[in-house]
């Protein structure tokens, strides 16, 4: 069965510190990989995606993620956290065989001033 | 370019009633998917429509149904509402298949009392 695991439902970092949010998937077929951010009472906004090509992808707001096939991981990073980064982050996967997203359970990021 | 529009934003219904939620995708997008978001179950796929045809369906009871019109607008209907149907319902639109990028609406917050 395909699944997405986000380690750590809550992550706290100090303003200016490194942000690292973890995502692993389980599938024998490499999927398309996505990170979405959700602010309170809002929908999901795409941060970045990996479909093919370069495994290090850069997204909006200074975020980036690296697809590591050998580790089945797609961790999200940002060198320096900003207060406005406080939100819920979701890792998601899909496959070329369908249009359905499978989401992780989400990681709530808190930024401490 | 207008984003994905979901109406209404908030809804309160009584157990046993039925409800219809609406989603207008981004112009030109032909794929519309629906997701249910709850604190306990996270984001779960309901169904996906492409060119007025349901192509994929998640594991929800038959009380949950949907349709798509020729202009790609979609509606989802929930009959005989239960307290557990209280959730944020998110609609996502995509330009093509397979899904390499989906744009989400702000959601409809349904509360069943």
How confident is the model over B28-46, as pLDDT tens digits? 998 999 999 999 889 999 9
Confidence class for position A96, pLDDT limits 50, 70, 90: low
CA of A109, closest CA in chain B: separation in Å? 16
Beta-bridged to residue B112, according to DSSP, are B13
pLDDT tens sequence across A65-95: 999 999 999 999 999 999 999 999 999 998 7
CB-CB under 8 Å, A45 with B98: no
pLDDT at A28: 78
Q: Are strands B87-94 and A107-112 parallel, antiparallel or unpaired?
A: unpaired
Contacts of A65 (CB under 8 A, 6+ apart): A23, A33, A35, A48, A50, A56, A57, A59, A74, A75, A76, A77
Q: Nearest CA to CA, how far is B33 from chain A (Å)?
A: 8
Which pLDDT does position A41 carry in this prediction?
82
Selected residues 25-64 of chain B with any CB under 8 Å from a CB in chain A = 31, 33, 35, 42-43, 45, 48, 50, 55-56, 58
Helices (H) and strands (E) in chain A, counts: 0, 12
Output the CA–CA distances (angstroms, integers) from residue A96 to A2, A33, A99, B82, B97, in the order listed: 14, 11, 8, 35, 8
Interface contact A43-B90, CB threshold 8 A: yes
Do A36 and B104 lie within an 8 Å CB cutoff?
yes
- What is the sign, positive or negative, of the torsion defined by CA atoms of A51, A53, A55, A58? negative
pLDDT tens-digit readout, A27-37: 877 788 999 99
Residue with tokens 């200074």: A62
Question: Worst-scoring range by mean pLDDT, A75-89, B12-26, B46-60?
Answer: B46-60
Which two tokens mark A94?
A: 């899909």
On the question of pLDDT at B99 being above 80, the answer is no
Q: Give per-residue pLDDT as tens, B66-98.
A: 999 999 999 999 999 999 999 999 999 988 766
User: In angstroms, rounded to a whole number, what is the distance separating the alpha carbons of residues B30 and A96?
Assistant: 17
């Amino acid at each position: 069965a395909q699944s997405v695991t986000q380690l750590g439902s809550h992550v706290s970092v100090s303003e200016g510190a490194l942000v690292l949010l973890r995502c692993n998937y389980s599938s024998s077929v490499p999927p398309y990989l996505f990170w979405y951010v959700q602010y309170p009472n809002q929908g999901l906004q795409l941060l970045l995606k990996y479909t093919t090509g370069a495994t290090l992808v850069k997204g909006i707001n200074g975020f980036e993620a690296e697809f590591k096939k050998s580790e089945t991981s797609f961790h999200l990073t940002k060198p320096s956290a900003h207060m406005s980064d406080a939100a819920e982050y979701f890792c998601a996967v899909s496959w070329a065989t369908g249009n359905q997203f499978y989401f992780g359970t989400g990681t709530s990021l808190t930024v401490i001033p | 370019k207008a984003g994905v529009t979901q109406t209404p934003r908030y809804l309160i219904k009584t157990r046993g009633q039925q409800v219809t939620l609406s989603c207008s995708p981004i112009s030109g997008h032909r794929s519309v998917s629906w997701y249910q978001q709850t604190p306990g179950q996270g984001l779960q796929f309901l169904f996906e429509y492409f060119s007025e045809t349901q192509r994929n369906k998640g594991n929800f009871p038959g009380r949950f149904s949907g349709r798509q019109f020729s202009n790609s607008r979609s509606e989802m209907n929930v009959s005989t509402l239960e307290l557990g149907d209280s959730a944020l319902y998110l609609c996502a639109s995509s330009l093509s298949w397979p899904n390499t990028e989906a744009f989400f609406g702000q959601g409809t917050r349904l509360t069943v009392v």
